[in-house]
Structure 1
């Protein structure tokens, strides 16, 4: 475990950066907002991070009270990392960074890695105010960088999003293509406008689905 570096400034922003300002830390939080993850899963979804750096960051985050590690009972018998309440409080920070960074996103570069679930937090921000509920997101055609994912609009506890189909009947199911998903993430269009234009197909009988269809 590396000693914590500090800006040595009596400022809340500086103190925050003492804890989460290292490279990869906030992206690890992004991944753990999906719930408990094994080390191998984290490494697979953080392309570019070395095993040594990932292990070091996870130890630092555990020391700083952002995460905890626990052993799954048999037959899983694997260790998983998960966010503690202090780490979960970084959700609005990541969402704000996503909104701020939307203007930097532009078109995907040939060297850019991408995972479908990386669009979950921007989409969660775009759905703010539409209501609460479980949302399943499916590609309209082909596969947008990993396929189906789901998110929990208005969630207060538990995972904020996850890969694969919704674990229960979703309140709303969204079907859209990769271009529309990217446009919503870049802030070029809203979910409501994309629904009105027929670029997002909404199904489901939940209050959230009805709100999205009515615009």
Structure 2
């Protein structure tokens, strides 16, 4: 799957993202990204409530109301100018708050790095955002197109960093996996958790299994011998 995603990026996402950033003027590019971010606020508010984060819900609601009115339907971001913080919530984070483990690392087609928990979160978030399936097709289409524009903008703006990970590292799969898990755990506040999974570990391995189980015993091993004794010393 990683090789497939690399091919998709090389021949589609990368040239489209770089071309988008070069052709679309920066003010328009910023407006499209701001519009997409504003349309994601209902989903963020719902997840904040599901997590019991009333403060986060309030900030997200304030951003949505302010940017939807004086911000011209979200085409600009006056909320940030007034010091309203950005709140980022998703259902994968909600599952974490509810005590669901991250599960195995996955790489999704066309999407990229994820985990079992975050994959469920991605699917649920589609349904948590009313603009994704609202009866008014205009809003649904606007949500889709603005999200695509935001993704292309990010791919173009961060092209050097993404290219270094995907095309210049010795093992792009391991590098992408490590960066994704580290960043995600930092977002969730579990980066310093000693019980967090090793990014390179198999999540289905038994941590309590005897690593020497099944090994053949050395018939010449003396359990009472001195390990520091010089075997060449005179007797």
Please report the TM-score for the alignment, with normalisation by the length of structure 2: 0.23
Q: Which has the larger radius of gyration?
A: 2
Richer in strand (by share): 1
Richer in helix (by share): 2
